[in-house]
Amino acid sequence: MSTGALLAAALPVLAVGALMCSLPAVTRPILQFGVRVPPERAEAPVIRRERRAYYWRTAAIGAGFALVAVTVQGHCPSWVPRVILVPELAAGLGCFWVARRKIAAVKNADSWFAGLRQTVVADTTWRTDPPRFPVRWLMPALAVMAATAAVGALRYPGLPAHIVTGSGHRVPKSAVLALVVAGQLYFTAVYSGLMLIVHHSRPDIEAADPAASTLRYRRFLAAFSRALLTMAALIDASLLLIALPDWQVYRLSGIGRALPVLPFAAGVLLLGAVAARTGQGGSRLNGNVHGLAPPAGIDRDDDRFWKAGLLYVNRDDPALVVGARFGVGWAPNFGNRAAWLLVAGTVAAWAGLALLGAAAGM
Amino acid sequence: MLLSIEPDGPVPIYQQIRDRIVEAIARGRQPAGSALPPIRQLAVDLGVNFHTVNKGYDLLRQEGLLRLGRKSGAVVRRDAGSGPPDPGWTQDWTGRLRTLLAEAAAQGMSATDIVAECEAAIADFAFPAVAAEA
């Protein structure tokens, strides 16, 4: 068994384990495992205990599944290492729910929000002076797509009707072209579309520190948009690098076959670094920017709108997406029909892409 | 302008939206001619129904504080520097003020405390006379 193959089996599992383990650290202190808590309760004993337990549990799960992935590598059908991430994620989700249940039980028993002034804050400057979508950062992705089209147009006529892909499958040459073009279109459209929607959605404003949190959210949105659009360009580059050997531009062997993975891995690292630096909604940015405006109370206890602590369902809220409850990102509002259409469209396109990938032998 | 509401409070949300905007105008944070967010966008930002925001804006329009246009959107029409209000409005406001003072008196608040509260509120708002004195 080669070192490269073992690394290829273990790295994705370890990366997912590290991701799960780090999520509480980048989430706002007032949102503990999907449970909203008053700022003065953010360090309550039950929260500290559950955070510590979650770190240990997810670290053990990551290490355990990595060991399994390395052990089964080469002894099981090729699809086993691919699906091992599913039970790993499920186990991580289980750890999240255990912590959530215990914190929510103490919160409800001790009535943490009783007698507190719960508010929702909007900053009208978010609409009168809205953040701008960083169009220029879309250019690298478009440039890679243009380069792919140019290389494809040059190489395609000279290729035989059927080509043998890197995985050894014999497929029509059009299948590879369709997969690469559709894949690049998909990732570029999904990432830029998501950021466009987010730019028109509401910012995550903390009632306890409204003006400063709006400022931090602006900086977070700018940094995360750029990182996500760069990620789209890097995924497009990975897809191009996958296609080039099939289009007989170059041949790779041994460890060199991992080349197409490198841009994608760089994108994941970049996104992870930005998320770690900014935190959820910019909560880790500029710790000294506080108190620009007096507190407007504390954030409203909205746990009832978050099903299982992760899915937002609020029919009275016209928002399409809202800030994620756990980790960095956004979640659709399943109380809004348009959000269902958005999710269904994204999943359908992904399914189409997977079918295309199967047709292209990947 | 930061606009905060208490969705689970006893005051209807549209009334809270109206009150917060009136306060922002009185403090000079939303001067005449300044724009407010469109109804749909403010509804998204507050996480409330469009009709709720529409009702709050409509109250302000009826009071002459807001102008709602298809192209211009919601624009503040009056502020502390826009001159004296209509005599009819003053008469109506005096009636409401008497009711408020009567409530305070009925609850046992002393005249000194009432005056102190009024002075604190006056100091907070951008009255033209106060600005001239400063």
Query: Is the pLDDT reported for residue B130 higher than 50?
Result: no
CB contact under 8 A, B37 and A128: yes
SS3 A323: strand
The neighbour count for residue A79, using CB atoms within 10 Å, is 8
Pairing mode, strands B35-36 and B73-76: antiparallel
For residue A299, the model assigns a pLDDT of 93
The neighbour count for residue A43, using CB atoms within 10 Å, is 12
**What mean pLDDT value characterizes chain B?**
90
Q: Where residue A243 falls among pLDDT bands split at 50, 70, 90?
A: confident
Average pLDDT over residues A184-200: 94
Residue A44 in tokens = 């309550």
Average pLDDT over residues A262-271: 94
SS3 A307: strand
d(CA B11, CA A274) in angstroms, rounded, equals 41
> Virtual CA dihedral for A335, A341, A344, A345, nearest 10 degrees?
-150
Question: How far off is chain B from A25, nearest CA to CA, in Å?
Answer: 26
Better pLDDT: A253 or B79: B79
A204-231: pLDDT as tens digits: 999 988 888 999 999 999 999 999 999 9
A193-203: pLDDT as tens digits: 999 999 999 99
Cα B21 to chain centroid distance, Å, stands at 5
CB contact under 8 A, A211 and B37: no
B65-87: pLDDT as tens digits: 999 988 888 999 998 888 888 88
Q: Say which residues have a Cβ less than 8 Å from residue A65's Cβ, sequence separation at least 6.
A: A13, A17, A84, A87, A88, A91
A14-30: pLDDT as tens digits: 999 999 999 999 999 99
Query: Is the pLDDT reported for residue A290 higher than 70?
Result: no
CB contact under 8 A, B5 and A319: no
CB contact under 8 A, B3 and A122: yes
A307-345: pLDDT as tens digits: 999 999 999 999 999 999 999 999 999 999 999 999 999
Question: How far off is chain B from A316, nearest CA to CA, in Å?
Answer: 6
CB contact under 8 A, B40 and A318: yes
**What mean pLDDT value characterizes chain A?**
89
Minimal-distance CA residue of chain B relative to A130: B37
d(CA A104, CA A304) in angstroms, rounded, equals 11
CB contact under 8 A, B3 and A207: no
Question: How far off is chain A from B86, nearest CA to CA, in Å?
Answer: 29
Q: What is the Cα gyration radius of chain A?
A: 23
For residue B132, the model assigns a pLDDT of 46
CA distances from A283 to A52, A276, B38 (A): 21, 10, 28
Residues of A in contact with B73 (CB under 8 A): none
Cβ-nearest to B48 among A119, A201, A316: A316
A48-82: pLDDT as tens digits: 999 999 999 999 999 999 998 888 877 777 677 67
Question: How far off is chain A from B16, nearest CA to CA, in Å?
Answer: 11
The neighbour count for residue A310, using CB atoms within 10 Å, is 17
